[in-house]
Amino acid sequence: MATLALARGSTEVLATVGEYGDTPVGDQFAQWVLESLGSTGTPASSAVHTAINRIMAAPSIRSYPIRDWAPLLPIGTFQA
C-alpha cells in the first residue's frame, strides 16, 4: 500500500513492517510521532527519530519489547 501511495503522488508514507504492539508504550510512541507530524510539518523520518529518542531516554519504557513500539517505517522521505 505504501508503494501505491508513493506512486500516486504522496511524498512520504508511514508504514508498518509488522503487527504493532497493542500496549501503552506502542500507543505513546504512535502519539509522539503523530503529534510531530500534525503540528510542526516535521518530516516523517524526523518524527519517528524523535519518538525513538524519547523512548530510549526513558528506562521504564525502553524495557518493553521492540515490537511494541518500533514497527513504524517512514518511506519516501529522501527527496532529491
In a domain, residue 31? The reply is yes
In a domain, residue 56? The reply is yes
pLDDT 10s digits, 8-65: 777 787 777 766 667 788 888 888 888 888 867 788 888 888 888 888 888 877 677 7
In a domain, residue 12? The reply is no
CA distances from 25 to 4, 12, 78 (A): 30, 24, 28
Q: How far apart are CA 80 and CA 39, in angstroms?
A: 24
Range of the domain at 64: 2-6+17-75
In a domain, residue 11? The reply is no
User: In Å, how far from its chain's centre is CA 62?
Assistant: 15
In a domain, residue 62? The reply is yes
In a domain, residue 35? The reply is yes
pLDDT at residue 80 in the model: 45
Say what the pTM is.
0.72
CA angle at 20 for the pair 16 and 26, rounded to the nearest 5°: 115
In a domain, residue 37? The reply is yes
In a domain, residue 68? The reply is yes
